[in-house]
Amino acid sequence: MESMTLLRSFTLSVSVSGRAFARNRRFISTKAGRFLSGQKNPKQSVSDIRKVVSHSQVGLLAGGRVGAKRILSSSKRAFSFSTRAAIVTPPQSPPSEASPDVVRDLGFEKVEEQFLNEYKSTAILYRHKKTGAEVMSVSNDDENKVFGIVIRTPPKDSTGIPHILEHSVLCGSRKYPLKEPFVELLKGSLQTFLNAFTYPDRTCYPVASTNLKDFYNLVDVYLDAVFFPKCVNDLQTFQQEGWHYELNDPAEDISLKGVVFNEMKGVYSQPDNVLGRISQQALYPDNTYGVDSGGDPEVIPKLTFQEFQEFHRKFYHPSNARIWFYGDDDPDMRLRIISAYLDQFDASNAAKESEVKAQKLFSEPKRVAEKYPVGEAGDIKKKNMICLNWLLSDEPLDLETELALGFLDHLMLGTPAAPLRKTLLESGLGDAIVGGGLEGELLQPQFSIGLKNVAEDDIGRVEDLIFSTLKKLADEGFTSEAVEASMNTIEFSLRENNTGSYPRGLSLMLRSMGKWLYGKDPFEPLKFEKPLETLKARIAQEGSKSVFSPLIQKFILDNPHCVTIELQPDPEKASRDEAVEQEKLKQIKSCMSEEELAKLVKATEELRLKQETPDPPEALKCVPCLSLDDIPKKPTHVPTIITQIKGTKVLQHDLFTNDVLYTEAVFDMRPLRSSLLPLVPLFCQSLLEMGTKDMDFVQLNQLIGRKTGGISVYPSTSSVRGKVEPASHIIVRGKAMAGCVNDLFNLIRTILLDVQFSDQQRFKQFVMQSKARMENKLTGSGHGIAAARLDAKLNVAGWVNEQMGGLSYMDFLQNLEKQVEDDWPTVAGSLEEIRDSLFSRKGVLINMTADEKNLVSAEQHVAGFLSALPDTNTLVIPSWDSCLPPINEALLIPTQVNYVGKAANIYETGYNLKGSAYVISKYIGNTWLWDRVRVSGGAYGGFCDLDSQSGVFSYLSYRDPNLLKTLDIYDGTAKFLRELDLDADTLSKAIIGTIGDVDSYQLPDAKGYTSLMRYLLGVTDEERERRREEILSTSVKDFHEFADVLEAVKDNGLVVAVASSNDVASANQERPNFLVEKKVL
C-alpha cells in the first residue's frame, strides 16, 4: 500500500498487514473485470484513502502503520471497490460443526466452540492429536469460502529466508511437480483471493473462492506446496526466487539477480520503508524483530541453499501450523482434507523452537541516525525525517486496555481533526505524517509518530512538539464531541464489516492470528460487542479523561522504551550503494578462474533454459481445474431502477445492506476549464477539511463522524469507447444507518455549498502533503506514474487524470506552493470557480443502494438535498482536447530498480474490441511476461493491461533490474502469440480464469457502485452478455490474430520508464537518443 495519509477507515478490509511482503502483487489487471463488470477504480480523495488495519484486538481499532513500512500488499488498491456479492444465504444453512464421529475417526479433538454473534458464525477450534496442529473451523452462510495455513517463521538474520521460502514453496510440489502451480491457479481459477505473504514472524498462505470445487482445488494445491515443496531439493528455484550470480559471457560483468533480491532493492529505495525497517529493528534489538524477514539486499547473498533447506525442515511442520477454514462449506470435509496431510507427520518440536521471545523494555531512551537515498531536486536540507517510537509493554495487555488504546489512537491520529495529527501538520515543521500511530499485529504493541520533509534545524522542535502535545492531551483530555465521533466511526465500521475487495473470512483470519500465533485466545480478536459496550459504559461513568489520560501517561510519556529515528537525506547514497555492489561483483569475478567463469556461464544458461521452457502438457494436467461446464453462461445482474426526483435522475439498487444506505452524488466535471483540473484534488480535500461560517473544520469533521459512516469526495475520469470526450465526474460518496440518512444528505449539502475557502495556511498544508505523497508514489509505485504518463500521451481521459495525479500534477504543486503564498486570493477564487462550475442540480445524478424500505424512505431526503442545489446551467463546455507530446521518456529518480512501461492505442489500428482480448491479455501476463520479465528477468512483476474503453494496450514492469531487456520482451509478445499452440485444456483454463476476473466478488455497496459506473460509461447488460459469449468462445485463432494487433504496439508504442540515471544513461548509450530524460526527484 502506498504511504499517503494517516486517515483510517475502520473497516476490517485489509488482506495484508503493513509489515507483510506478498508473493504476488497484481498491480495492473486487465480491465475485463473492471469494465465488463462495469467497475472502474475511482480516484480517491485525500481524506478517504484506506489504510492498513492491524489484526490484533489493538489492531481491531488501530490502523497498521501508514507508509506500510515493510509492506507489499497483494493486489490492493486504496479505496478500490472489489467485485461480487456479499453474504448470500443458500436455501439450507450448512452444518456448523463436524460430526463427533468424523472428529474422532480423523484423529482430532474439539478444544473449544464459540458462537460469534458479531458475524453470525460458529467457530470451533480443533487440535490434531498426532501432530498438535490447530484448526479453526468457522461456519456461516458466506459463499466466499476462505482457507489459510499460517506457519510461525522467526528469522535469526536479514538474509530474507522466510520471504524467499514463501516465494519458493509455490514453485512446484510432490503432487503438482510443475514450475509454478501458483501461476496455473492464477490462469484458470475462479479464486477471489490467491496469494502468500511474509510477516516479521509468520508466513501466511490464504486462498478463497465462491465455487466449492474450485475452493477444494486451491486448498489441496496450497497444502501440498507448504508441506511437500520441490524447492527444498531444487537449487535453481532457490536461485531464481532468492539470489544468484548471472554471467552470459566471460567477457561481461557478473550481475546479481533474484526475484526477492530485486523486490527488496525496491523496498530499500523507498524512504518510508527505510524508516519503518530501522524503527522496527531499533525497537526490538534483542528478538526476531531486530532483523528483516523480507531480506536486506546486502545480506541476502549470504544465504546458502543448505540454510534454506534447514529452515523449511525446521519450521514448515504441522506442529507449528495454524489452519483456518471459513464459509459455507462442509465442516466434515474440512477435517477430511486436512487430516490427509497431517497424518503423514509425527509431532515435532517446531512450535517450541519458533516461539517469539518478548523484547524487554529499555531503562532509557535511545536515538538512531541514518541516511536514506534522495534525489537532488528541491531543497535537500528540508528532506529530513524524524520519528518517535515506543514499545508499549513487555507483558501481555488485558483486553480492556488493548481496546482503549485502539480508541485512543483514533482520537489522536485517526482523522484530519485529530489533535496530534492536526497539531503536527499545522506546525509547518514538516509536510506529512510518518509513523502512523498504534500497531498491534506483533507480539508487543508499539506506537510511532513523526514528520517527513523536516529542516535539520527543526528536528528538535518536532520532538518537543510531539511531547508537549501528548502531555497536553494527557492533562486536558478530549472533547465529548471528539469521543462521540470516534466511537460512532469505529462502531459503524465494526458492525458494517465491509472488507472491500478482500474476503471477510481472510480479514477475520488475520485478526485471529494476532493472538493465536502467540498461544493466546484465537476467539478474542473476533468478538467486539461485549468489550465495546464495557468501554462505552466506563467512559460514560468515569469520563473519557479518566480512561485515556492514564494510558498516554503510562505507555508513552513515562515509558523509557522510546527510540527516536532520524533519517538524513543523502543524494549520493543510491549511486554509492550501487557502486559498492558492482565493486563486490568485480572482486568476485577477479577471484574466479576461467573454469569457474565457464561454469557460471553454463549455470546461467541452464537456469534461463529451465525458466523459459514451458511445462509439458501432461504435467499441466495434474493441476486440478474447473471445466467450462462449471461456468455460468450469463453474467450477474445488479437490480437497478431508474427514477426521477425533482427532475433529477436517480439510480436505485434494492439490495440487503443491514440497514445501511450507501449513496453517491455524481456531478459532471466537463464544465470546468482545463487549467483548473490540477486544482481538483485539493478542491476535494478542502471540501472535507475546511470549515463553514458556523463550524470550523474540526467541528464539521466530528459531526460527520458522529452522524455517518463517512463521506468522501474525489474525481473520476475515464475514456468512453467510441468517443473522444471522456466521462469525467466529481463523485461524493457517503453512507449512514437508516435513521441518519437525513443527516447524511444535510452534511453532503453543507460540504458542497457552505465550506469556505478562506484558510490560506491550511490550504498550503494540503499542497505540501500532496507533494510528499507524490514523491512517495514515485519511489514506491513508479509503475503507476509510468502508466498514467503513457495514458496522458494517448488519450484525453489519460491527460485529465495525469493533470490530477501524475507527474504533471507534481509539477503543478511545485508552482502552486509559491502562488498560495504570494497570491492567495487568486487561488481561493479558482476554488470558488470550481464549485460554481460543478455543483448544480442540472448536472447531478444520484445513486443509492439499500433495501426497498430504506430506498423509499430516503427519497424525501434526496428531494431536500436537490432543492438546496443551485439551478444553474453551463452554456459553454470548454475543450479538453489535449494530450502530452508523444515522446519516449525516462523519469529519473534515486532507485536501485526500474519501472518500465510501453503502450499504444490498438483501436487506432482498426481493431474492434472482442471478449477474446481479455482472455489473451490475461494469458500473456500469466505466461510470457511472468516467465520472461519476472522469472528469468528478475523483476518483481511484469504485466499487461487492456483498457477496453480507450483502446490503450500497455505493458508494465515493477521493481525491475532491467530496462531495454524488458522492452525487448514486450516487443517479443507478438511473436510469442503467433507461434503459440494451445491445447484444449490450456485454452479452457485461460477462459475460466478470465471469467473469474469478470465475475469478481462484490459486497452490496460495490454492487451499487458498479452499476453506477456501467451507467456512466454506457456499458449495457446486452454488451456484457455479448462480451461474455465472446470470452467463452475464444479460440486459438483469436490468439494468432491478436499478434498482428500487438505488432502495432511494438512498432508504434511509446515508452515511459521511471528509472535510475545510470540505467537510463546505459540505455541511451546503447540506443542513442532513445529516451528523453527528465529528473523528477
Catalytic residues: 166, 241
Residue 859: in which H helix or E strand, if any? helix 852-868
What is the phi-psi region of residue 277: left when phi exceeds 0, alpha when psi lies from -120 to 50, beta otherwise? alpha
> Of 656, 659, 647, 649, nearest to 857 (Cα)?
659
**What DSSP character marks residue 530?**
H
Q: Is 62 helix (H, G, I), strand (E, B) or coil?
A: coil
Q: Do residues 405 and 547 touch, judged by C-beta distance below 8 A?
A: no
CB within 8 A of 100, min separation 6: which ones? none
User: What string of DSSP letters covers 214-245?
Assistant: HHHHHHHHHHHHHHSBGGGG-HHHHHHHT-EE
Q: How far apart are alpha carbons 126 and 402 in whole angstroms?
A: 27
> If 0-12 CB within 10 Å is exposed, 13-18 middle and 19+ buried, where does residue 727 land?
buried
Hey, what amino acid is at 534? Answer: T
- A 10 A CB-CB count for 618 gives 7
**What DSSP character marks residue 37?**
S
Q: How far apart are alpha carbons 519 and 505 in whole angstroms?
A: 21
According to DSSP, the residues that pair with 126 across neighbouring strands are 110, 135
Across 210-365, where does the E strand assignment appear?
244-246, 255-257, 321-327
Q: Do residues 539 and 249 touch, judged by C-beta distance below 8 A?
A: no
User: What string of DSSP letters covers 799-849?
Assistant: HHHHHHHSHHHHHHHHHHHHHHHH-HHHHHHHHHHHHHHH--GGGEEEEEE
> Of 989, 886, 904, nearest to 945 (Cα)?
904
Q: How far apart are alpha carbons 135 and 719 in whole angstroms?
A: 48
Q: Is 591 helix (H, G, I), strand (E, B) or coil?
A: coil
**Three-state SS annotation for 169-220:** CCCCECCCCCCCHHHHHHHHCCCCEECCEECCCEEEEEEEECCHHHHHHHHH
Q: How far apart are alpha carbons 423 and 637 in whole angstroms?
A: 48
- Residue 684 CA to chain centroid, in angstroms? 22
Q: Do residues 12 and 119 touch, judged by C-beta distance below 8 A?
A: no
- A 10 A CB-CB count for 998 gives 23
Backbone angles phi, psi at 327, to 5 degrees: 130, -155
**Three-state SS annotation for 884-916:** CCCCCEEEECCCCCEEEEEEEEHHHHCCCCCCH
CA atoms within 13 A on the CB side of 903: 32
What angle is formed at CA 961 by the lines to CA 591 and CA 789, rounded to 5 degrees? 160
Q: How far apart are alpha carbons 595 and 601 in whole angstroms?
A: 10
**Residue 871: all three cell numbers together:** 439551478
In the β-sheet with 660-668, what is the strand arrangement from edge to edge?
641-645, 648-654, 844-850, 660-668, 727-737, 710-718
End-to-end Cα spacing for the chain? 21
Strands 1054-1059 and 889-892, sheet pairing:
parallel
Backbone angles phi, psi at 666, to 5 degrees: -115, 120
**Residue 122: all three cell numbers together:** 460458529
> If 0-12 CB within 10 Å is exposed, 13-18 middle and 19+ buried, where does residue 118 land?
middle
